[in-house]
Structure 1
Amino acid sequence: MSTTTAEAGDDTAGAHRVQLDVDGMSCAACAGRVESALNKLPGVRASVNFATRVATIDAGADQPTPELCDAVRRAGYEARPRSAGGTPDVDPDSDHARHLMIRLAVAAVLFVPLADLSVMFAVVPSTRFTGWEWVLTALAVPVVTWAAWPFHRVALRQARHGAASMETLISVGITAATVWSLYTVFGNHHSGGGGRGIWQALLGSDAIYFEVAAGVTVFVLAGRYFEARAKSKAGGALRALAALSAKDVVILLDDGSEMVIPADELKEQHRFVVRPGQTIAADGLVMEGSAAVDVSAMTGEAKPLRAAPGGSVVGGTVVLDGRLIVEAAAVGADTQFAGMVRLVEEAQTQKADAQRLADRISAVFVPCVFAISALTAIAWLIAGGGPDRAFSAALAVLVIACPCALGLATPTAMMVATGRGAQLGIFLKGHRSLEATRAVDTVIFDKTGTLTTGRLTVSAVVAADGWTGEDVLALAAAVESASEHAVAIAIAAAVAERDGVDDFRALAGRGVTGTVAGRAVRVGKPSWIAPSCESPVLVAARRSAERRGETVVFVEVDGEPCGVVAVSDTVKDSAADAVAALHARGLRTILLTGDNPESAAAVAARVGIDEVIADVLPDGKVDVVEQLRGHGRVVAMVGDGINDGPALACADLGMAIGRGTDVAIGAADIILVRDDLAVVPQALDLAAATMRTIKVNLVWAFGYNVAAIPIAALGLLNPLIAGAAMAFSSFFVVSNSLRLRNFGAGTRR
């Protein structure tokens, strides 16, 4: 069900939202610790996302941002306010990956000879020459100190704050293996390994753990490197989307000359020039010129749209031919493009219920691992396994028990899904829109502007006795000119010059009223204007238009019906295929509209919808949704108008046509920017694919830890192999999520 910030709770009333970039988090337990530290502040409600490194905070108006940053620092991490632009131009994951690659390269170069010599000395003791201990030490120390320093640094910082994280496990494991190796090698406590084969030497490590300490460092660094690379790719779609915005804009000065200014300095009502190949810098109205505009970046539609004087254009789209002069109507953060980018960012920073469960588990996971490791060592010593065997098993438990995969399971899938959805013209507001799709079995469509183009035209005007069609249409157009309803726009557009209207009122689901030239005029549904009209001319006109599937409004002047205006709409070409695709998925479809039954039935027949509920007021739409939900149905609502807002908010899943009203867009869970209803089943498929990916990730992450820790505790895993398995686990989760980048690759765009 759709929710808003205001619905989050009364305690956040008057709160302001702050986003912080948090550095130093290495696992989901870290995110949980930062979240806990922030939530301890009075009047603060915070959610921290490990994958995006963003803390989203609802704080009281008197809660300064520096205090929030200080709370994060006291928890052992660094924080800074997120830039107003949101998505950074620099990719932090890419930079992090480069730094990791340098350390990984050095560690790998030293690890290869270290591992070879360690195995040789373990299997063939006669090969040990004078000073062999110093050779191994010289090869190992740079790896376990400098190369592993990112793990040690975080672990030390955590220790200063009395906390522990995944880095603590890794650092303790590497340090313990190194110290034990120094003790056994220089204290002459090594066993010699005589008579053992290579495989036995690899599994037993012969009490020389230099190669284990270095190997764990190499494998974990490799895992973190590929993880950072994968996370960089996961956020690439959003960065590519943000990069589409114009950097500079050419404005027209009062004397007709041109001047280039940065796009962020553009103001409303500035007139700017856009030439072929240039990006439109802001939402606005075309004043001069004509051009084909590539809107694929915003809507996913391959077919360019023609822009002409009087038409509107959207920032972030590209002019293909011609020259446009545009008057800016919305700039900067107020543009539709900026709003869509914000939607994707906010969706990526939210947490799904499954992720919150994973966070709670990770928060207590590290202390439990230390306890299991200690118990493993004690158990092996009691069982007579000897110090070497006890240490090896305990170290394997520390190394393999990585909660990173658990922390990455949900957010990485969400990052990829929201980015890919944005490329397809599907903007997911957050995890709720994904979780709600799991059980959707009923899809409700609005009619006008949703199944139809919403570009209505007046098809007929019939006047009562004593009136002319021109007078009836002129009065109706004067009142309707103050309304934004699609029918009103069509009627107003049919008259070139209109009188002014006073005392205008719009009654949702009924019609409009106003005073024109001193006369009280009402325009609206026949059931509201003249429920018992006795004029045979008007009744016949109404019936004829409704049989044709047209929408009919009555016009009343000073309490007397004076005419009928019929408007016609065109069913979208994609509507029938979209409905068929939903039926193929076993979903029930319903047409729910405030229009008359005859017109609704005609449209439903054309698109293949069997169930029609017509002549319904906005609150009646809510009642229909509630009744369906009361009968166990999980309902998705697709709409675009103001009167759809309540139903979109009430439904389990609200899907708003992106060119609809702000009310509809604000109430929905998914914004469909493309003017193609095929995106409805595609949006449901994307959400379903994302949920499947999350489930696979969680099953792997939970199953990995549940199975691996007992195996390690039983001494069946060498710490070196455990390190490789742990790194692979995180890499698997991120790589599995990246498969969503190819979703809908075969879709015509």
Structure 2
Amino acid sequence: MSHPIPATLSIEGMSCAGCVGRVDRTLAALPGVSEVSVNLAAETARLTVSTPEGLRAADAALRELGKPARHQTVQLAIEGMTCGGCVGRVERALNALPGVVSASVNLAAETAQVEILQGTLTPSQVAAASTEAGYRARLAAASDTEDRAARKDREARDLRRQVGIAALLTLPVFVLEMGGHMVPALHHLIAQTIGMQTSWVLQALLTTAVLFGPGRAFFTLGLPALRKAAPDMNSLVAMGSGAAWVYSLIATFLPGLLPEGVRAVYFEAAAMIVTLILIGRWLEARAKGRTGAAIQALVGLQARHARRLTKSGQPEDVEVEALAPGDLILIRPGERIPTDGTITEGHAHVDESMISGEPIPVEKTIGQAVTGGTVNGEGSLTVRVSRTGAETTLAQIIRMVEEAQGAKLPIQSLVDKVTLRFVPVVMGLAALTVAIWLIVGPEPTLTHALVAGVSVLIIACPCAMGLATPTSIMVGTGRAAELGVLFRKGDALQALNEVDIIAFDKTGTLTEGRPSLVALKTRAGFDRAEVLTAVASVEARSEHPIAKALVAAAIDEGLTLAEATAFKTLTARGVTATVAGREIRIGSARLLSEAGLGVEPLATEALDRANRGESVLYAAIDGELAALLAVADPVKPTSAAAIKALRGMGKDVAMISGDAPATAEAIARDLGISHVVAGVAPEGKVAALKDLAERGRKLAFVGDGINDAPALAQADVGIAIGTGTDVAIEAGDVVLMSGDLGGVVKAIEISRATLSNIRQNLGWAFIYNAALIPLAAGALYPAFGILLSPIFAAGAMALSSVSVLTNALRLRRAG
């Protein structure tokens, strides 16, 4: 009988008594919910539920009402998990806690990400649930990524030492027993010197040392799990090697308990099982350490010290943790930038490759932002700190990648359900195998039954199945991060692989997002530099975006601007001014016609450029038409190649833009985009996506601005340009750290490669078990007289896990 569970939920969005009433009525109407009390001032709802599921139902009902309960994410570091069954048991223990919304356990990363209803549980209670289930857990700290790498290194070294000891002890056992079988002369030599009984006693002593020395953990972890009716991999190894050892001890020291025909020893099988599985675990630990290499590389970018400038301007070395927003720091040539900030003095080229994936250093000067973890080139910089600690770009990137690596794809849920039940099924199969051999097997039936039963127990361990998905996710998302692609949500890996349509925003996504001078056509008698200098000198007095584009073009060409006088703005027509005694008019054809000037000589050029979505201006100097200027938001150099690559992948490409249809369609024609939706507001972009998604097609949307956030959230996969706004980045499932749209192609390639890798791993793991369990049970014996040795079973089991990890590591070369 379940006990009532009191809980207090923290509610978002309550602003009046009406909200309180709706929340109260919604909760009170739920079955199993009682004693509801809603507090507007505290923004809480107290209630009592009959089961943990009642709290989840309350959470879902509040979310549907539009007054969601606040959630909190708890990260745990978990020890002792060895297979998918362990993952299932930890998740079951965590999900049984009242207040847990979801729990995702990652075997490869040895972590759990638990989402709880804020206020119902403490993080310590969550950790305690895993510990009580037999898997010691603690709250993950910020330094755990480094600790995990060091821990895996220590674990690999410790396992190597255990393997060395086990091998040293097992070798004489193997030589005494198997050597005698393989080399008759050695068998006779042993019989004539120390005798077979002494040989068995020596094997017993050495094997016992192996099992309860290097192999002790299999018994200390596996037998308690067996007593709790929750057997795991350790239980299978303990039972398999333990059965061979006990049988052999009886044959050696109490031979009268066994019929004479079955008095044989299998010490070498027990010792070799433990040794081979320890070798597999050692190789597995080494491979696991490499799966998190990308995260470790990112963590290694974090500087430990900074050179802060005092009020007197003198530099002082301080810990990065001591920095605060507003501090001035000095960065010398070749140094790593310690935190995010804005340049106040200096000029340099900064290597941002580990953040953006772009190999070419970026020019930085006064007023521009720099990112912590990047490397200053030649030139000294003074930087004003803008963000520190967990708020820095690098810290957020690390957090995003860790969360993605800890995520569980939909495909993994099925695997976990299978592996949770797999070990008990294997134990049942082993018992059935022994029974069949005892009933219908040839003499010596007991020996054959023992060999077959032990082989089934050992060969069928589900380690490979448990590692198949999480290791691929870890390596795949890590490789993506190295290429400047961040999967904020791990399930985006699978979703992106299923996308049919890629829809792009235009401004700032396909284009640079800022106007620039794309053409300046002068008439005979006028020099380009002369015209651009005059035009830019006048436009320097204006704040209009087109004016800024013209000034920027002149500065880029190294022109020196003159002083403009008598500046006048003529609404919707243009500007006039005097530069070096010459009258300058810049604007529309109407502005020039007012001065009696015609634009017919440049009309054809103007019409062509207007049809391409460019803004056309005319310049007149001293009452004479001088030039046509065209300003546009230029397409990014990488956009055309990215669109072509996506179409080559079989993806449909669309553009959804708030710009005028003529401009959007002109750019779409240049890029080879056939489907265009233009002139739409942010809500119009959402409607356009819904229209594209009709007929069940999956789509991704790529955007960068605040007005793109609703569309990014609406799409099956939202891909945010990392150079855009924080709002857009937060709304995206995938973040491209540079503005290069080649990142979209890379993201899809990584998604495809990772899903393919997962399928390969799962295929290998399932085929391995499906094929080898019957062999271990003795399927080949009736036809060929072959019975699989437990030693071969142990080697094959160890090889299966190592094969999965090695295959996952191939993703480090993806993209």
**TM-score for both structures, normalised by structure 2:** 0.76
Contact 2:298 2:394 in 1 (8 A): no
| Residues 101 and 458 of structure 1, relative CA distance in 2, 3 Å threshold | same
| Residues 664 and 538 of structure 1, relative CA distance in 2, 3 Å threshold | farther
**Map of 1:722 onto structure 2:** 793
**Map of 1:93 onto structure 2:** 152
How many angstroms does 1:193 deviate by? 12
How many angstroms does 1:640 deviate by? 0.9
Residue 632 of structure 1, aligned match among 684, 693, 696 = 696
How many angstroms does 1:323 deviate by? 0.5
**Map of 1:117 onto structure 2:** 176
| Residues 551 and 176 of structure 1, relative CA distance in 2, 3 Å threshold | farther
**Map of 1:72 onto structure 2:** 130
What is the distance in 2 between the residues matched to 1:412 and 1:421? 14
How many angstroms does 1:188 deviate by? 3.8
Please give the per-residue CA displacement for 1:384-433, whole angstroms capped at 9, x wherever unaligned.
Answer: 44111111111111001111100000000000001111111111123321
**Map of 2:73 onto structure 1:** 17
**Map of 1:329 onto structure 2:** 386
Query: More deviation in 667-676 or 716-725?
Result: 667-676
Tell me if 1:587 matches 2:658: no
**Map of 1:532 onto structure 2:** none
How many angstroms does 1:115 deviate by? 1.0
**Map of 1:165 onto structure 2:** 232
Residue 200 of structure 2, aligned match among 133, 151, 169 = 133
**Map of 2:771 onto structure 1:** 707
Tell me if 1:599 matches 2:624: no
Tell me if 1:278 matches 2:342: no
Contact 2:255 2:263 in 1 (8 A): no
Residue 103 of structure 1, aligned match among 121, 144, 162 = 162
Residue 217 of structure 2, aligned match among 121, 138, 150 = 150
**Map of 2:802 onto structure 1:** 731
What is the distance in 2 between the residues matched to 1:41 and 1:632? 37
How many angstroms does 1:538 deviate by? 12
Letter in 2 for 1:456: P
How many angstroms does 1:628 deviate by? 1.5
**Map of 1:562 onto structure 2:** none
| Residues 569 and 538 of structure 1, relative CA distance in 2, 3 Å threshold | farther
**Map of 1:395 onto structure 2:** 454
| Residues 291 and 228 of structure 1, relative CA distance in 2, 3 Å threshold | same
Contact 1:346 1:429 in 2 (8 A): yes
User: 3-state DSSP class of the match of 1:573?
Assistant: coil
**Map of 1:228 onto structure 2:** 285
What is the distance in 1 between the residues matched to 2:663 and 2:146? 50
What is the distance in 1 between the residues matched to 2:165 and 2:257? 28
How many angstroms does 1:206 deviate by? 8.4
What is the distance in 2 between the residues matched to 1:608 and 1:647? 22
Residue 41 of structure 1, aligned match among 82, 94, 97 = 97
How many angstroms does 1:548 deviate by? 4.5
**Aligned ranges for residues 115-514 of structure 1 at < 5 Å?**
115-122=174-181, 124=184, 126=188, 127-128=190-191, 129-130=194-195, 131-159=198-226, 161-188=228-255, 207-385=264-442, 386-457=445-516, 477=543
How many angstroms does 1:76 deviate by? 0.9
User: 3-state DSSP class of the match of 1:87?
Assistant: helix
Unaligned runs of 5+ in 2: 1-11, 14-55, 520-534, 554-570, 573-588, 594-598, 618-628, 780-786
Please tell me the root mean square deviation across aligned C-alpha atoms, in Å: 3.5
Contact 2:706 2:727 in 1 (8 A): yes
Contact 1:86 1:342 in 2 (8 A): no
What is the distance in 1 between the residues matched to 2:713 and 2:282? 42
Please give the per-residue CA displacement for 1:457-480, whole angstroms capped at 9, x wherever unaligned.
Answer: 4899xxxxxxxx99x999995xx9
Contact 1:591 1:611 in 2 (8 A): yes
What is the distance in 2 between the residues matched to 1:253 and 1:422? 36
Residue 82 of structure 1, aligned match among 137, 140, 157 = 140
| Residues 239 and 189 of structure 1, relative CA distance in 2, 3 Å threshold | farther
Letter in 1 for 2:130: V
Query: More deviation in 154-163 or 365-374?
Result: 154-163
Contact 1:21 1:81 in 2 (8 A): yes
Letter in 2 for 1:154: L
What is the distance in 1 between the residues matched to 2:547 and 2:213? 71
| Residues 615 and 239 of structure 1, relative CA distance in 2, 3 Å threshold | same
Letter in 2 for 1:155: G
Residue 708 of structure 2, aligned match among 632, 644, 668 = 644
User: 3-state DSSP class of the match of 2:145?
Assistant: coil
Letter in 1 for 2:374: T
How many angstroms does 1:645 deviate by? 1.5
What is the distance in 2 between the residues matched to 1:60 and 1:346? 19
Tell me if 1:676 matches 2:774: no
Q: Structure 1 vs Structure 2: percent identity of aligned residues?
A: 41
Letter in 2 for 1:627: D
Query: More deviation in 366-375 or 540-549?
Result: 540-549
Letter in 2 for 1:369: V
What is the distance in 2 between the residues matched to 1:376 and 1:401? 13
What is the distance in 1 between the residues matched to 2:87 and 2:223? 17
Please give the per-residue CA displacement for 1:361-381, whole angstroms capped at 9, x wherever unaligned.
Answer: 111111111111111111111
| Residues 193 and 681 of structure 1, relative CA distance in 2, 3 Å threshold | farther
What is the distance in 2 between the residues matched to 1:122 and 1:611? 75
| Residues 112 and 488 of structure 1, relative CA distance in 2, 3 Å threshold | farther
Contact 1:133 1:186 in 2 (8 A): no
How many angstroms does 1:187 deviate by? 3.2
User: 3-state DSSP class of the match of 2:114?
Assistant: strand
Please give the per-residue CA displacement for 1:270-315, whole angstroms capped at 9, x wherever unaligned.
Answer: 1101111211111111000111100001011111111111111111
Contact 1:190 1:207 in 2 (8 A): no
| Residues 488 and 67 of structure 1, relative CA distance in 2, 3 Å threshold | farther
Tell me if 1:613 matches 2:672: no
What is the distance in 1 between the residues matched to 2:439 and 2:492? 53
| Residues 473 and 61 of structure 1, relative CA distance in 2, 3 Å threshold | farther
Contact 1:166 1:366 in 2 (8 A): yes
User: How many equivalent residue pairs?
Assistant: 670
What is the distance in 1 between the residues matched to 2:616 and 2:371? 33
How many angstroms does 1:441 deviate by? 2.3
User: 3-state DSSP class of the match of 2:378?
Assistant: coil
User: 3-state DSSP class of the match of 2:696?
Assistant: coil
How many angstroms does 1:189 deviate by? 7.1
How many angstroms does 1:185 deviate by? 2.5
User: 3-state DSSP class of the match of 1:47?
Assistant: strand
User: 3-state DSSP class of the match of 1:88?
Assistant: helix
What is the distance in 2 between the residues matched to 1:707 and 1:609? 49
How many angstroms does 1:239 deviate by? 0.5
Letter in 1 for 2:340: D
Letter in 1 for 2:380: R
Contact 1:285 1:326 in 2 (8 A): yes
Higher relative contact order (CA 8 A, sep 6+): 1
